[in-house]
């Protein structure tokens, strides 16, 4: 390269870097937390001095105090759900899956580079179950009373830099319940530290949702909200550009905006475009809106937001239209949890679950009954699944309106979201109070997003003179099939949807109901009294054009709510799939009813019946979307039936081992076939990964199906034995599940029984810097083991807030008056004297007005420190100094120059007070030039 070129590249780089380094930095805070399960009671405060200090900022006590000794606590990474680690216990709450929740504490220390000084620092917890209190450096900074809303905390005023250590403490009260389902316990969603310029785009501060104009063109009225925590008002330039997925700029707008100091302001820039590729279910195209904030010509913040172009319409007579095209909502309701993971579900597993649903024909998802994680909605955007986003707490008072506003602000850019639901089944839904609340809540939603309708999932009150259906845009029916027509007739102008239906019971792989064993057959014959079978539930919706569609309760089983049973059952029966995502019969029923343009055929039961069943009539069901179905046993035609698209087809077949086969026809032509076959005894194990490789980024996860095969390689559906797993390579086993609602086997560990032929192991990768492999071996008594080698591809890891191992710090000192004569280092401070010594800290020097000054700090030694002795390190101690501990002189620094100085605390003695007596000349500077550590 010639010199000129080199220079140009060099300057271009400096120019770019100086801009880019100013943009916001998002660091994962998931690594290296200390955790204690249980509550840590706060010390009882009796003395006046303690009472006085307890009331002061920065002086939290107990485990909330920065200096609390947590070295014995467990170290773990987030997301974390401690409830799923606990055993099933009949004395615990049935709805929460009989798992102890209780209390837990998390602590995390971190340092900030001196170059971070002056930046705006925000700590984000995406979700903590359930009530959380959060401290930074001994000051309480946030209380979050909802397990499903995020906490965004400006920690800038509390932050310390350089050698000084910051401490976050989080107390989680998971005894508090917001649901009647398994809610998990702990910091179960991602946690972040965002470093921004003092003038910045606030969190969720870009609203960029395209709308179609009457002219046929599209407009994004991009609303950008900015904050200025700097010390001067500024005039910033805001630039918004619309880009295609491929990065092509379509349109750009720019405007300046004044933001006063410690204030916020927003600006709306309207971008227009024509003929964008639409966001559709088949091809969910996403565009990017890039926001750039400039100050004095330099970029100080930037953010990329995804959006999609699509229109929605709910019609009172003809249902729902996406992009002008009629679409029936084929939806499912779901809770958050998965086998073995509880509610701490990695994105890769969310993706797996959504993919399973989509393969079943699902086009809509109801987040019942709470907001999901932000990354979950990104997946729905990307995969083309429509979402009903639901608020958790039904209340129109300020704190709960704040929760609702958070939901709308966070989620309103997602093209996948088509409905805001303000509540589920509230007893006040048919009252004046309920109506007044929904009126207000709906208004709050509209203020933030008027482009999507508001709904509420009502299970009653629909015909009361004043009820919430009068305050929403779309009425959602939970169950109440009987009410569909009546309500429509009495309210012909209100668009309707089923918001929840079915609630049928099924146990995967079981074909005989056994009430005493809490087992349901898989013929779709059992439903809750308020619900319907899968077949009847859908028929009622499909036959009513005015209904936009429905949402089956539920897509997947979930921990807790084992209705209609209770202990020893610990998870639900409602799922179309079990806890692991293994399909039950309902899965194929919905496939047959919902998949368009794809031939479906499935046959139940499996064809392994005991010898005494030979000749007995077995109920056979062929599930298909054919016109006619023929059934054959061992090649012999059993019968032919016209297919019933709602009911499916059933026969009574005298059992003979062998092959049972169904063939589906349309206009006489075969379109589908399915065979079930009698297998031999299991002889070996098989491991089937959901994907061929994983990313070595420390977060990717992979579900692996475990099966037992006979000598001909056929899966044996009755295998129920224990399987052991061993893993080697850069990863770990994070869950073992089998979908049996009656199983109490641990869901963590490396052992799990097959349930009706299947189990699931989920592995998660470590961070790798090269391509590697993980080897998983499954073994069981009498079986040939299975070995699976999974390629781990090197992939960029997230940037993390570095984990530090720090010594404890003595950073809270009291400083005496300065004096000319030497004071007594043993001098006591009266309990009620709050004023003759003043609070001080480390890292700064004092100009002396006398010759002597004393500093005093309390110290708390652990049992270990007393037993083995401890040490205090004063960094950059400046001035001559005597060090005293509980009235004993333990060290002396005889020179005045700043230097690191160490003193030992002899073992077997409990010290509680350290005094440092400085000596210097008047006008000289003395004090703690750096931190004071003890270990």
Residues marked as catalytic: 425, 500
Q: State the Cα–Cα distance between residues 911 and 721, nearest whole angstrom.
A: 58
- Tokens representing residue 677 in the block: 């076959």
- Tokens representing residue 163 in the block: 């050698």
- Provide the 10 A C-beta neighbour count for residue 244: 15
- CA torsion, ordered 52, 57, 61, 65, to nearest 10 deg: -150
Residue 509 class from Cβ within 10 Å (0-12 exposed, 13-18 middle, 19+ buried)? buried
- Tokens representing residue 302 in the block: 């930037």
Residue 101 φ then ψ, to 5°: -110, -70
Of the pair 177, 528, the CB lying nearest ligand GAL is at 528
Contacts of 3 (CB under 8 A, 6+ apart): none
- Provide the 10 A C-beta neighbour count for residue 316: 16
Place of tokens 């909502």: 329
Contacts of 284 (CB under 8 A, 6+ apart): 308, 381, 382, 383, 384, 415, 416
Of the pair 478, 624, the CB lying nearest ligand GAL is at 478
CB of 512 to ligand GAL, least distance (A): 23
User: What is the C-alpha radius of gyration for the chain, rounded to an integer number of angstroms?
Assistant: 32
Q: State the Cα–Cα distance between residues 749 and 128, nearest whole angstrom.
A: 24
Strands 103-110 and 166-173: antiparallel
Of the pair 110, 148, the CB lying nearest ligand GAL is at 148
Residue 563 class from Cβ within 10 Å (0-12 exposed, 13-18 middle, 19+ buried)? middle
Do 882 and 916 contact (CB within 8 A), yes or no?
yes
Of the pair 579, 754, the CB lying nearest ligand GAL is at 579
- Provide the 10 A C-beta neighbour count for residue 274: 9
Question: Between helices 398-411 and 374-383, what is the axis angle to 10°?
Answer: 40
Of the pair 569, 765, the CB lying nearest ligand GAL is at 569
Of the pair 389, 425, the CB lying nearest ligand GAL is at 425
Strands (DSSP E) found in 368-525: 386-390, 417-424, 454-458, 474-478, 496-502, 504-505
CB of 474 to ligand GAL, least distance (A): 17
Backbone CA torsion sign across 76, 78, 79, 81: positive
Residues that bind ligand GAL (CB under 6 A): 424-425, 459, 478, 500, 503, 528, 531, 553, 561, 563
CB of 805 to ligand GAL, least distance (A): 45
Q: State the Cα–Cα distance between residues 2 and 705, nearest whole angstrom.
A: 59
Of the pair 309, 556, the CB lying nearest ligand GAL is at 556
**Taking CB positions, which residue lies at the least distance from ligand GAL?**
503
Contacts of 402 (CB under 8 A, 6+ apart): none
- Tokens representing residue 842 in the block: 């480390």
CB of 504 to ligand GAL, least distance (A): 9
Of the pair 575, 731, the CB lying nearest ligand GAL is at 575
- Provide the 10 A C-beta neighbour count for residue 687: 20
CB of 590 to ligand GAL, least distance (A): 17
How many residues are present in the chain?
935
Of the pair 153, 475, the CB lying nearest ligand GAL is at 475
CB of 500 to ligand GAL, least distance (A): 6
CB of 95 to ligand GAL, least distance (A): 9
């Amino acid at each position: 390269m010639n010199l000129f070129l080199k220079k140009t590249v060099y300057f271009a780089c400096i120019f770019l870097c100086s801009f880019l380094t100013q943009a916001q930095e998002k660091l994962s805070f998931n690594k290296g937390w200390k955790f204690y399960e249980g509550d840590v009671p706060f010390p009882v405060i009796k003395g006046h001095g303690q009472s006085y200090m307890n009331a002061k900022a920065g002086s939290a006590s107990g485990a909330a105090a920065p200096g609390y000794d947590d070295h014995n606590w467990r170290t773990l990474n987030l997301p974390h759900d401690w409830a799923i680690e606990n055993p099933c216990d009949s004395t615990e709450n049935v709805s929460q899956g009989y798992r102890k929740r209780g209390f837990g504490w998390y602590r995390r220390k971190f340092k900030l580079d001196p170059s971070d000084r002056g930046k705006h620092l925000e700590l984000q917890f995406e979700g903590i179950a359930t009530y959380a209190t959060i401290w930074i450096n001994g000051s309480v900074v946030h209380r979050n009373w909802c397990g499903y809303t995020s906490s965004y905390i400006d920690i800038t005023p509390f932050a310390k830099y350089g050698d000084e250590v910051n401490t976050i403490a989080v107390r989680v009260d998971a005894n508090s319940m917001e649901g009647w389902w398994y809610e998990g316990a702990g910091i179960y969603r991602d946690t972040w530290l965002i470093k921004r310029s003092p003038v910045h785009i606030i969190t969720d501060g870009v609203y960029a949702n395209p709308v179609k104009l009457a002219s046929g063109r599209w407009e994004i009225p991009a609303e950008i909200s900015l904050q200025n925590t700097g010390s001067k008002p500024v005039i910033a330039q805001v630039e918004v550009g619309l880009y295609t997925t491929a990065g092509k700029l379509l349109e750009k707008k720019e405007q300046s905006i004044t933001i006063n100091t410690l204030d916020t302001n927003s600006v709306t820039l309207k971008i227009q475009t024509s003929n964008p590729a639409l966001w559709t279910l088949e091809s969910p195209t996403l565009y990017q809106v890039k926001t750039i904030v400039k100050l004095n010509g330099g970029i100080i913040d930037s953010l990329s937001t995804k959006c999609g172009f699509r229109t929605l319409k709910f019609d009172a007579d003809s249902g729902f239209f996406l992009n002008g095209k009629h679409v029936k909502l084929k939806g499912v309701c779901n809770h958050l949890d998965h086998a073995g993971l509880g509610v701490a579900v990695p994105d890769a597993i969310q993706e797996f679950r959504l993919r399973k649903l989509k393969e079943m024909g699902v086009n809509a998802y109801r987040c019942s009954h709470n907001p999901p994680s932000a990354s979950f909605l990104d997946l729905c955007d990307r995969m083309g699944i429509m979402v009903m986003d639901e608020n958790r707490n039904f209340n129109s008072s300020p704190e709960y309106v704040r929760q609702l506003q958070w939901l709308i602000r966070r989620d309103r850019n997602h093209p996948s979201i088509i409905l805001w639901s303000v509540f589920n089944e509230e007893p006040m839904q048919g009252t004046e109070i309920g109506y007044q609340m929904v009126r207000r809540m709906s208004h709050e939603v509209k203020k933030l997003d008027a482009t999507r309708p508001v709904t509420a999932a009502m299970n009653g009150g629909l015909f009361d003179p004043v009820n919430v259906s009068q305050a929403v845009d779309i009425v959602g029916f939970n169950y109440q099939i009987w009410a569909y027509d009546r309500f429509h007739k009495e309210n012909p102008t209100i668009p309707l949807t089923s918001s929840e239906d079915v609630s049928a019971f099924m146990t995967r792989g079981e074909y005989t109901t056994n009430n005493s064993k809490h087992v349901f057959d898989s013929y779709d014959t059992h439903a809750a009294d308020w619900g319907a079978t899968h077949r009847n539930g859908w028929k009622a919706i499909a036959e009513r054009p005015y209904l936009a569609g429905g949402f089956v309760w539920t897509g997947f089983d979930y921990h807790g709510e084992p209705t209609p049973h209770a202990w020893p059952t610990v998870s639900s029966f409602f799922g179309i799939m079990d806890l692991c995502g293994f399909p039950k019969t309902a899965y194929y029923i919905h496939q047959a009813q919902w998949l368009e343009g794809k031939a479906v055929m499935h046959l139940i039961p499996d064809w392994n019946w005991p010898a005494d069943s030979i000749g007995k009539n077995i109920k056979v069901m062929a599930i298909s979307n054919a016109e006619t179905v023929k059934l054959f046993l061992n090649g012999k035609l059993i019968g032919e039936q016209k297919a019933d698209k709602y009911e499916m087809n059933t026969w009574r077949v005298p059992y003979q081992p062998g092959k049972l086969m169904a063939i589906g026809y349309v206009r006489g032509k075969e379109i589908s076939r399915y065979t079930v076959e009698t297998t031999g005894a299991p002889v070996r194990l098989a491991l089937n990964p959901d994907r061929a490789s994983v990313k070595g980024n420390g977060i990717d996860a992979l579900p692996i199906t475990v099966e037992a095969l006979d000598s001909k390689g056929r899966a044996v559906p009755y295998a129920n034995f224990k399987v052991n797993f061993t893993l080697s390579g850069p990863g770990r086993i994070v869950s073992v599940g089998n979908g049996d609602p009656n199983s109490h086997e641990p869901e963590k560990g490396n052992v799990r029984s097959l349930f009706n032929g299947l189990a699931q192991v989920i592995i998660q990768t470590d961070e790798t810097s090269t391509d590697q492999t993980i080897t998983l071996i499954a073994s069981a008594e009498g079986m040939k083991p299975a070995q699976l080698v999974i390629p781990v591809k090197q992939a960029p890891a997230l940037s993390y807030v570095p984990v530090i191992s720090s010594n404890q710090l003595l950073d809270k000192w009291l400083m005496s008056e300065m004096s000319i004569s030497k004071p007594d280092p043993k001098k006591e401070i009266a309990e009620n004297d709050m004023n003759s010594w003043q609070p001080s800290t480390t890292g700064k020097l004092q100009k002396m007005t006398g010759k002597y000054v004393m500093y005093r700090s309390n110290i708390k030694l652990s049992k270990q420190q007393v037993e083995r002795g401890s040490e205090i390190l004063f960094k950059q101690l400046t001035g001559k100094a005597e060090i005293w501990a509980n009235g004993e002189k333990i060290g002396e620094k005889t020179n005045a120059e700043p230097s690191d100085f160490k003193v030992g605390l002899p073992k077997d003695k409990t010290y509680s007070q350290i005094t440092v007596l400085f000596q210097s000349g008047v006008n000289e500077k003395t004090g703690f030039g750096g931190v004071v550590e003890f270990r």
